[in-house]
Amino acid sequence: MAKNPPIWIIGSANCDYSIFAATLPNIGETVFGTSVIKAPGGKGLNQAVAVMRAGGQVQFYFARGQDDDGEFISNSLSELNLPYSAVLDDKLNTGCAYILVDNKGENQIVVVPGANFSTKLSEHNFADPAGWLVLQLEIGQLNNAALVAKAKQAGWKIVLTPAPASEFDRELLASVDVLTLNQSESAQISGMDNLEDAGISLSSQVETVFITQGASGVTVFQSGQLMGHISALRVNATDATGAGDTFCGYVVTSLAQGFDSLSAARLATAAAGMSVQHPGAVGSIPIRAEVEALMGSQTD
């Protein structure tokens, strides 16, 4: 495989409406918000931007509706200079996400998938040179199953972020090379509450597993073995939205460029730590030079 192989993200693109409030509402409770931000988002889009800013050879594929939100996303991607290809599905609305964020940076998210579930996404074909395919669970099980089968047959590496975990299909594990997921997702998918047990179990089925733990960092497993733990940066978190996607984009780019799993996790953890210090998802993802400069300053 080439030193900087293609990285394809076939995934979700949403119009994100981030609503900021002092506290998140409990069930049946109404709270006042302080501001609303409209921005491009979705796990697929966020990860594609992260790969681009990490220096990867990225191409983003997504589906959108023939509507204002879809036009907003396409225009935003063009402004970001992100290489992309949009499939138009005029039978569906563009996906939207409604994100509540409190003053500690914690969030609650409701996603309306819309065109993200368009079966037109599964029509992509894979050819030489073989690269890395990055998937999430926001485009539907049928799309993911079809794409994984095609990519695997063409010799591509498969990376999966199994979120939302409620949409996870265990049959995908047989074809996945890398999992990036958080601690609650690892427990839900493995059926094991203990993080180490979950990581060892999952990495016995998948070559490499990265389990993120927010402010506690990330633990890395490979081929059924615990490889190590990388501590997170100590930061004042403003908004955790997109931190996991930032981590995934950076870790995939690093692996594709030949980094070992712990070195990839170290770079990705620093990038994710920088991202939570700013509101929103796309706008908070740092560029590679900024991350490397911060890491260098901490080792001086």
Catalytic amino acids?
245
CA distance 92 to 264: 38
In what helix (H) or strand (E) does residue 157 lie, and over which residues does it extend?
Answer: strand 157-161
Angle between helices 43-54 and 68-80 (to 10 degrees): 10
Q: Strand 218-222 vs strand 225-230: parallel, antiparallel, or unpaired?
A: antiparallel
Q: How many CA atoms lie within 13 A of 96 on its CB side?
A: 13
Beta strands 33-41 and 95-101, pairing class:
unpaired
Cis peptide before 6 (omega within 30 of 0): no
Element (H, E) at 109: strand 107-112
Burial track 78-94 (b if 16+ CB lie within 10 A, e otherwise): eebebebebbebeebbb
CA separation for the pair 76, 72 (Å, rounded): 6
CA distance 199 to 69: 38
Residues 64, 117, 168: CA angle, nearest 5 degrees: 140
Which parts of the chain fold into alpha helices (H)?
A: 43-54, 68-80, 141-153, 183-190, 195-205, 243-256, 261-275, 288-299
Spatial neighbors of 200 by CB under 8 A, at least 6 apart, are: 221, 224, 225, 226
Q: 3-class DSSP state for residue 236? A: coil
